[in-house]
Structure 1
Amino acid sequence: MKTPPSKTIVFITGAFITHLCWDNWIPHFESQGYKVIVPQWPNKTDDAEAMRNAHPNPAVASTRLAALTDYFAGIVSQQQEKPILIGHSIGGLIVQLLVQRELAALGVAIHSVPPQGLITFNLSFLKAGWGPLGFFTPVKVPFLMSFKQWQFAFTNGMSMEEQTQTYYKLATPESKLLVRDTITAAAKVDFGKAHAPLLFLAGAKDHTIPASLNYSNYKKYTEISSVTDYKLFESANHAVLVQACWKEKATYILNWIKRQ
């Protein structure tokens, strides 16, 4: 029998949502014997409704990628064993950055925001990202998605009831500076460096991070002795963590972990 690479998992939440997006995932992984840690972001410790009511909050607007990556690096480094890191969206990018720092036993990037230098001119990507980037608007004011923007960027294809429930439970304001940092050196990855096994999950229905962009991200890794895997799910949108078919993705990740 193989020795598990780690029995500790750290979930890293993406932007525009609260850590409650992992509510179904936590017991699923705990039932398989894993210790699960789900850190809240700095300046995002209230529930989604409270954060929306406090909008615009200058503290949220001040969040930067380098500091956020260091924050999660600190949490990861405090664990008794090198953990498995699983992140969504910008959380997926942070997983890539922490894998690069050699802080992860394994890494899973779910619909990851791409590192510096990777971009697409896919129309849905440009439409979903224009508001969060906040060009020609004050950077001291966070960006809060409207429900209509949430429907397009996160929950396209879901029922109106699901879209409404997820918006009020999860949607939060976010820092424009953080989003802009993803195209700077704060998001730089050395794709030729040896790394811990890394899995990319992509969704064919994702408007925010198109599957083609995830595939380009995956293909950039060139170190031949390192495991880098990719899996496309046809039904997954950007709200993949809370879609009705979330368990299929979580189970795929668990099985991939066991194979390493």
Structure 2
Amino acid sequence: MKSSVAPIIVFVTGAVVTSACWDNWKFFFEEQGYACHAPTWPGKEAPAAALRAQHPHSPIAQNSLSDVLRVYTDFIAQLPAKPIVIGHSFGGLIVQLLLQQGTVAAGVAIESAPPLGVVVPSWTLVRAVLPMLGLFSSLQTTFLPTFAQWQYAIANGMPQSDQQAFYDRLAAPESKRTIRGALSRQARVDFRRPHAPLLFLAGGADRIMPAALNRANYRRYRHPGSITEYHELPGRNHAMLGQTTWREDAELVHRWLIKLPS
């Protein structure tokens, strides 16, 4: 990945948070010489607290998976070169969809939501994801995790003060249309086609996107000439981006990137 021009990273945000979740990672990779961008999802330009004040009647409710994906396809289209895309959670699914388009140089899917058809038996996943789907509620309203849901699904194992701090800084309303899009044909991936290098990172303590699900996702990729790698990181919950080990994890990604063929 060596070049006289700074390589570009586009960070792909997940659901129920804002792009502020990437602040540490952007700083780290900018220190390494990358040009970094973290586009916001439609309607999520404000700080998380302001977005929570709009719940449940936020315009975010109108977003679909296609709307969110378009943010990144349009942003990438105006870049001077193919970027590296790094996504977390639902953003990991979007990374995989971007690789299908052939418009990126490499992808990193961190604690990724799976494409259509990738499933594993997991009670913690069902308990964490089911409320987000809002199956018995209106699509005209947003989903916002309660602090208790956040503690269980995202910040488990952290001191309560850290759980609360992350919630206050990052938790945002989400479109149930977008979440349900992961269960539709919009989230379909052809695992046999060639693709740019793809790294999966799984959290060993992740409840909402457990390591077994990430591993199953990784194993579905079948093209023999494409680079696909998987690493499971012990002790990481779904808030991996902000845990005390975040720099260690970012360094792992950086080492993987610089080893890729030019």
The TM-score normalised by the length of structure 2 is 0.97
| Structure 1 residue aligned with 2:37 | 37
Q: How does 1:64-213 map to 2 (within 5 A)?
A: 64-213=64-213
Number of corresponding residues: 259
Deviation at 1:218, TM superposition (A): 0.3
| Partner SS, residue 109 of structure 2 | strand
The CA distance in 2 between the partners of 1:204 and 1:210, in whole Å, is 7
Decide whether aligned partners of structure 1 residues 171 and 183 sit closer, same or farther in structure 2, where only a CA change above 3 A counts: same
**SS in structure 2 at match of 1:36:** strand
1:140 offset after TM fit, Å?
Answer: 1.0
SS of residue in 2 equivalent to 1:199: strand
**For each residue in 1:109-149, what CA deviation from the matched residue of structure 2 results, as whole angstroms up to 9, or x when unmatched?**
00110000112220000000011011111111111100000
Q: Secondary structure, in 3 states, of the residue corresponding to 1:244?
A: coil
- Taking the TM superposition and a 5 Å limit, the aligned residue runs for 1:216-231 are 216-231=216-231
Asked if the contact 1:6/1:81 (under 8 Å) is kept, the reply is: no
Secondary structure, aligned partner of 2:9: strand
Determine if contact 1:6/1:83 at 8 Å carries over to the other structure. Answer: no
Given residue 179 of structure 1, which amino acid in structure 2 is its aligned partner? I
> Secondary structure of the equivalent of 1:39?
coil
| Structure 1 residue 3 corresponds to structure 2 residue 2 | yes
Whichever residue aligns with residue 246 of structure 1, its letter is W
Paired residues of 1:15 and 1:89 also in contact (CA < 8 A): yes
Unaligned ranges ≥5, structure 1: none
Aligned partner of 2:2: which letter? T
Structure 1 counterpart of 2:31, one-letter code: S
Structure 1 segments of 4+ aligned residues over 3 angstroms from their partners: none
Counterpart for residue 235 of structure 1: 235
CA distance in 1, matches of 2:152, 2:81: 39
Distance in structure 2 (CA, Å) of the matches to 1:57 and 1:94: 25
Q: 2:28 & 2:97 partners in 1: Cα distance?
A: 26
Q: Which residue of 2 aligns with 1:249?
A: 249
Identity %: 42
The code of the aligned residue for 1:89 comes to S
Residues 111 and 234 (structure 1 numbering): CA distance in 2 closer, same or farther, change over 3 Å?
A: same
- Which residue number in structure 1 is paired with residue 18 of structure 2? 18
Contact 1:207–1:237 (CA<8 Å) still a contact in 2? yes
Structure 2 CA distance for aligned equivalents of residues 57 and 245 of structure 1:
36
Q: How far 1:6 sits from its partner (Å)?
A: 6.7
CA distance in 2, matches of 1:57, 1:113: 26
- Give yes or no for contact 1:19–1:40 (8 Å, CA) kept in 2: yes
The AA in structure 1 aligned to 2:94 is: I
CA distance in 2, matches of 1:162, 1:3: 38
Confirm or deny: 8 A CA contact 1:6 1:82 kept in the other structure. Answer: no
For structure 2, list consecutive stretches of 5 or more residues without a partner in the other structure. Answer: none
**How far apart, in 1, do the equivalents of 2:47 and 2:257 lie?**
31
1:98 & 1:195 partners in 2: Cα distance? 10
